[in-house]
């Protein structure tokens, strides 16, 4: 092997055959990572079960693997074959970033943005479309923040000949018109949220006609829409156990690639929306830490505008704005929390995935929050040195990695840093334009805002076996 290697590539035969289920390695009561109560809704198809925390009909075959304690869940052959069209994704050694920072740290990043959807979201979209199709579903509806999930789902639905309706958070709909085009190109119907097409949306529009919206609102609308559709289903792109499960292909590949690089990370970093980006990379390293006793730190990075982990509460809450879904236990700012319209739309979700929350609660990972300006500064710096424009979400991980590398220089101690560039920022260049023009704003949320939102947390529901 050459001394200065840039790319750690794998063959398509190396695409993982199994997803990793962290429940096998996490000592939690099952109720902490499952639904709190069944939702009141019509019965679904016989092959589906209303058991996920979304309150939607989740195919049993998809659900089972994500709530059991089987460590390795086999990836269905047709899903793996889809993965093999673009996976394994590259692991890149960021030589130029290291030089620019004059750091003794070795910096690696996994790049998930090279597929057509532009982000890691396609990993779960293809899996979900496969399971829903098998369960007899004909239309999938979803909410999307920055549009990455909606784009991925529209592609997956097109590939499997399923109809697709996407409620897109209004501020992203305005900021990222190209995302809409991408979804429409793949046959999806895209509706800005809050919209006039659902009761939930109409109520919010009446109160605030120019509302930025939120993922929780878009999900509430999508849920309402899905229930009005024959053989329709509501799907989410993060947070749920099964979504985090699907994303573990990222970390499984990264483990192989770090091995071929002859290193093991001292810190693994991912941006934190609801958690699938972070978990996809970090969870397999959790398993490896347990196996080898490595002291690797796992760090989730959230925006100051939506600090669910660093400033939220570990509590039972709803996933959607209308409180229709069953509750799950999570780090949350309250399901009525509407984050300021930062460009990292994918990180504006009010809660953290139950699995990530449990990991955080047990002290098995860390969380850190950054302001929008410093994140874009790091993103632009990375773009210039590594020649890759990170999505605003991914730029959060970049910022954290840069800080770690600077600390390594200050302490004059080498360390191995691994982070996830979950998507490209080519459709977010208007935000970078604002950064260059100096018009980007930070949005720090006040303690009062958070306290008010947390005060609205639901009372515990006696049904569902919660503690």
Residues near a copy of itself, by CB under 8 A: 2, 4-7, 9, 11-13, 81, 84-86, 96, 114-118, 155, 158-159, 177-178, 181-182, 184-187, 380, 383-384, 386-389, 426-427, 429-430, 432-433, 436
Does an H or E element contain 270, and which?
strand 267-271
Handedness of CA 395, 400, 401, 403 (dihedral sign): positive
Find the shortest distance in angstroms from Cβ 323 to a copy of itself: 36
Q: State phi, psi for 331 to the nearest 5 degrees.
A: -70, 125
What angle, rounded to 10 degrees, do the helices at 199-207 and 215-227 form? 140
Min dist. Cβ of residue 429 to a copy of itself (A): 4
Separation CA 156–CA 124 (nearest Å): 9
Count the Cβ atoms, other than its own, within 10 Å of residue 313. 15
- Residue 28 to residue 355: CA distance in whole angstroms: 9
Q: Which is nearer to a copy of itself, 24 or 116 (CB)?
A: 116
Which CB sits closer to a copy of itself, 337 or 432? 432
Residue 49 C-beta: closest distance to a copy of itself, Å: 30
Shortest distance, CB of residue 155 to a copy of itself, whole angstroms? 6
Residue 343's nearest CA partner among 443, 453, 463 is: 443
Nearer Cβ to a copy of itself, position 160 or 226?
A: 160
Kindly tell me which of 147 and 351 has the beta carbon lying closer to a copy of itself: 147
Q: In angstroms, what is the minimal distance from the CB of 320 to a copy of itself?
A: 29
Q: Which of residues 74 and 384 has its CB atom nearest to a copy of itself in the complex?
A: 384
Residue 425's CB is within 10 A of a number of other CB atoms, namely 27
Mapping DSSP onto H, E and C, the string for 186-238 reads: CCCEEEEECCCCCHHHHHHHHHCCCCCCCHHHHHHHHHHHHHCCCCEEECCCC
Number of Cα atoms under 13 Å in the Cβ half of residue 402: 23
Closer residue to a copy of itself in complex, CB, 181/206: 181
Q: Whole-number minimum distance, CB 389 to a copy of itself, in Å? A: 7
Could you tell me the smallest distance in angstroms from the CB atom of residue 179 to a copy of itself? 9
Rounded to whole angstroms, how far apart are CA atoms 263 and 253? 14
The answer to whether the beta carbons of residues 191 and 167 sit under 8 Å apart is: yes
CA 321 to CA 343: how far, in whole Å?
A: 20
User: What is the phi/psi pair of residue 255, to 5°?
Assistant: -60, -45
CB of 268 to a copy of itself, least distance (A): 23
**Residue 351 or 425: which CB sits closer to a copy of itself?**
425
Q: How far is the CB of 140 from a copy of itself (least distance, A)?
A: 17
Closer to a copy of itself at the Cβ: 4 or 459? Answer: 4
Of 184 and 210, CB closest to a copy of itself: 184
- The CB-side HSE value for 162 (13 A sphere, CA atoms) comes to 33
Least CB distance from residue 435 to a copy of itself, whole Å?
A: 9
As measured in angstroms, the least distance from the Cβ of 251 to a copy of itself is: 21
Specify the residue, 178 or 314, whose C-beta has the smaller distance to a copy of itself: 178
CB 102 to a copy of itself: min, Å: 16
What are the beta bridge partners of residue 73?
19
Report d(CA 401, CA 411) in Å as an integer.
15
| Residue (156 or 300) nearer to a copy of itself, CB | 156
55/118 with CB nearer a copy of itself? 118
What is the distance between the alpha carbons of residues 369 and 308, in angstroms, rounded to a whole number? 9
Q: What share of the chain is helix, strand, coil (3-state, %, to 5)?
A: 45, 15, 40
Beta bridge partners of 169: 193
The residues, ordered by sequence, that sit 6+ positions from 411 with a Cβ below 8 Å of its Cβ are: none
Task: Using CA atoms of 366, 372, 373, 376 in order, give the dihedral in degrees to the nearest 10.
Answer: 80
């Amino acid at each position: 092997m050459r001394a200065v290697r840039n790319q750690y590539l794998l063959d398509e035969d190396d695409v993982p055959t199994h997803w990793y289920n962290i429940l096998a390695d996490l000592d939690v009561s099952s109720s902490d990572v499952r639904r709190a109560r069944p939702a009141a809704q019509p019965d679904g198809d016989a092959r589906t079960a209303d058991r996920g925390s979304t309150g939607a009909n989740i195919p049993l075959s998809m659900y089972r693997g994500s709530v059991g304690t089987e460590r390795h869940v086999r990836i269905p052959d047709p899903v793996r074959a889809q993965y093999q069209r673009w996976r394994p994704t590259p692991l890149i050694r960021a030589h130029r970033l290291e030089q620019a920072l004059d750091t003794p740290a070795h910096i690696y990043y996994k790049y998930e943005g090279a597929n057509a959807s532009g982000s890691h979201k396609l990993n779960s979209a293809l899996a979900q479309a496969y399971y829903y199709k098998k369960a007899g579903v004909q239309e999938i509806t979803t909410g999307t923040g920055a549009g990455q999930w909606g784009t991925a789902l529209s592609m997956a639905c097109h590939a499997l000949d399923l109809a697709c309706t996407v409620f897109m958070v209004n501020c992203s709909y305005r900021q990222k018109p190209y995302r809409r085009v991408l979804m429409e190109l793949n046959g999806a119907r895209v509706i800005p949220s809050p919209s006039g097409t659902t009761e939930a949306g109409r109520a919010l529009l009446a109160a605030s006609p120019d509302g930025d919206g939120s993922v929780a609102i878009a999900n509430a609308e999508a849920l309402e829409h899905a229930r009005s559709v024959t053989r329709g289903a509501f799907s989410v792109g993060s947070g749920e156990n099964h979504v985090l499960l699907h994303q573990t292909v990222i970390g499984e590949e990264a483990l192989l690639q770090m091995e071929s690089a002859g290193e093991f990370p001292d810190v693994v970093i991912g941006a934190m929306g609801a958690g699938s980006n972070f978990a996809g990379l970090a969870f397999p390293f959790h398993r490896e830490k347990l196996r080898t006793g490595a002291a690797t730190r796992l760090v989730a990075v959230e925006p100051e505008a939506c600090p669910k982990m660093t400033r939220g509460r570990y509590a039972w809450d709803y996933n959607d704005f209308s409180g229709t879904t069953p509750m799950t236990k999570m780090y949350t700012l309250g399901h009525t929390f509407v984050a300021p319209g930062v460009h990292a739309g994918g990180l504006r979700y009010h809660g953290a995935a139950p699995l990530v929350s449990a990991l955080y609660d047990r002290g098995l990972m860390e969380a850190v929050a950054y302001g929008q300006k410093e994140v874009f500064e790091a993103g632009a710096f990375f773009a210039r040195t590594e020649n890759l424009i990170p999505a605003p979400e991914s730029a959060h991980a970049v910022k954290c990695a840069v800080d770690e590398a600077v600390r390594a220089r200050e302490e004059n101690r080498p360390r191995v840093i691994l982070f996830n560039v979950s998507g490209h920022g080519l459709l977010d260049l208007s935000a970078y334009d604002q950064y260059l023009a100096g018009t980007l704003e930070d949005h720090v949320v006040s303690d009062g805002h958070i306290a008010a939102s947390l005060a609205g947390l639901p009372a515990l529901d006696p049904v569902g076996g919660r503690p």
